[in-house]
Amino acid sequence: MLFVCLVAGFFTADIISAEWTYDNQGNWSPSVCIEGPHQSPIALSTSLAEEADFPPFRMDGYWQNMSTILQNNGHSVTIRPNHQKHIPRIHGGGLSGKYKLDHLHFHWKSEHTMEGQRFPLEMHMVHYHEKYSSYQEASDYAAEGGVVVFAVLFYLSPDDVEEFNHVLKAVLHVQKHENQQTELDGFVIKNFIPMDVAGFYRYNGSLTSPGCNEGIIWTVFVHTLPISQAQVDVFRSIRTRHNKPLEENFRELQPLNDRHILIKISPVGVSAGQNLFAGNANVFLVIFISIKYCFSG
Ligand SMILES: [Zn+2]
């Protein structure tokens, strides 16, 4: 009988720890989530950051039309490449080696704050070092730079943003139940990355959900992109395993402790308040280059 109780107790405890939610953040396990000194997210601001110079990022495969699987995993919406021959890879930007895209997912509201502001949406692009065979393997080597995450923050726009419509149609297909998934073809990641990626924050942190692995190299782009409230509300409508809408899925800010935040200032010199989707950015760059050419010539 005692044995049965012990076994039952073991499984109950296991189920409780497996059922982490955004309402029980103080009880997340493993213990590094609570006690780890280098957890994410953190508050970012130019006044806290030291200016640093990093070489430019080199991004390969972010402009292609990808076949992906979009899933409601009960904690977020994830998008991962599906039977994709050419997996997007990134290097440069002070990273050692090339990193392959594993998946991307969204948090509503944002997890990181910039200059004290929390944004309505944050996208995380999770990558792993190409020397590992999978993200799962790389995450065992997180402390040695196995995993890097790139974050894009989205600000509230009065208008719907065309680029999101295709994705949100797929979100509606997986809205009702945890683990529902659907194919999402024609997904172009670059549409969700600012045109100017030269300005970014860099710091060492953790995964922002259990297991909270530390040693993750974070890049948070300074430039933000637009999304409308109606579009954010589609994300907020997805349901958890308890059949409740996942209204918010952001982790509270974590203490900085002994860490340094670095910032690379974009040489293009657009202020952080200006936000560029790809089309507008091209126009801006042409004007910028033309003005520069006229005045230097
Ligand atoms: Zn995340």
Task: State residue 18's pLDDT score.
Answer: 58
Pairwise pLDDT comparison (32 vs 85), residue with the higher score: 32
Compute the distance from residue 104 Cα to the ligand 1 centre, in Å.
8
Compute the distance from residue 63 Cα to the ligand 1 centre, in Å.
22
Average confidence score pLDDT of the chain:
88
Compute the distance from residue 96 Cα to the ligand 1 centre, in Å.
22
Task: State residue 253's pLDDT score.
Answer: 98
- For the record, the structure tokens of 166 come out as 């295709």
Q: For helices 229-236 and 162-173, what crossing angle results, to 10°?
A: 20
Compute the distance from residue 294 Cα to the ligand 1 centre, in Å.
44
Pick from 5-9, 27-31, 119-123: least confident: 5-9
Task: State residue 215's pLDDT score.
Answer: 96
Is the pLDDT at 45 greater than 70, yes or no?
A: yes
Compute the distance from residue 82 Cα to the ligand 1 centre, in Å.
20
Compute the distance from residue 22 Cα to the ligand 1 centre, in Å.
12
Q: Indicate the pLDDT class of residue 128, thresholds 50, 70 and 90.
A: very high
Compute the distance from residue 92 Cα to the ligand 1 centre, in Å.
22
Q: Are strands 99-107 and 77-81 parallel, antiparallel or unpaired?
A: antiparallel
Length of the chain: 297
Residue 169: how many other CB atoms lie within 10 Å: 13
Percent share of the chain, pLDDT over 90: 82
Task: State residue 78's pLDDT score.
Answer: 98
- Type of residue at 277: F
Compute the distance from residue 284 Cα to the ligand 1 centre, in Å.
31
Pairwise pLDDT comparison (278 vs 186), residue with the higher score: 186
Is the pLDDT at 110 greater than 90, yes or no?
A: yes
- CB-based contact 42:205 (threshold 8 Å): yes
Q: How far apart are CA 103 and CA 105, in angstroms?
A: 7
Pick from 7-11, 42-46, 98-102, 105-109: least confident: 7-11
Is the pLDDT at 23 greater than 50, yes or no?
A: yes
Compute the distance from residue 101 Cα to the ligand 1 centre, in Å.
14
Task: State residue 283's pLDDT score.
Answer: 41
Q: Indicate the pLDDT class of residue 272, thresholds 50, 70 and 90.
A: very low
Which residue is it, tokens 């200032």?
265
Q: Are strands 214-221 and 77-81 parallel, antiparallel or unpaired?
A: unpaired
Compute the distance from residue 106 Cα to the ligand 1 centre, in Å.
6
Compute the distance from residue 288 Cα to the ligand 1 centre, in Å.
34
Closest CA to 242 of 14, 5, 20: 20
Q: What is the pLDDT of residues 225-259, one digit of tens each?
A: 999 999 999 999 999 999 999 999 999 999 999 99
Task: State residue 13's pLDDT score.
Answer: 41
Q: Indicate the pLDDT class of residue 268, thresholds 50, 70 and 90.
A: confident
- CB-based contact 73:285 (threshold 8 Å): no
Burial 60-78 (b: 16+ CB within 10 A, else e): ebbebebebbbbbbbbbbb
Is the pLDDT at 275 greater than 70, yes or no?
A: no
Q: Is the peptide bond before 205 cis (omega within 30 degrees of 0)?
A: no
Compute the distance from residue 293 Cα to the ligand 1 centre, in Å.
42
Compute the distance from residue 232 Cα to the ligand 1 centre, in Å.
16
Compute the distance from residue 78 Cα to the ligand 1 centre, in Å.
10
Compute the distance from residue 283 Cα to the ligand 1 centre, in Å.
32
Is the pLDDT at 295 greater than 80, yes or no?
A: no
Full set of structural domains in the chain with CATH: 42-292 (3.10.200.10)
Percent share of the chain, pLDDT over 70: 84
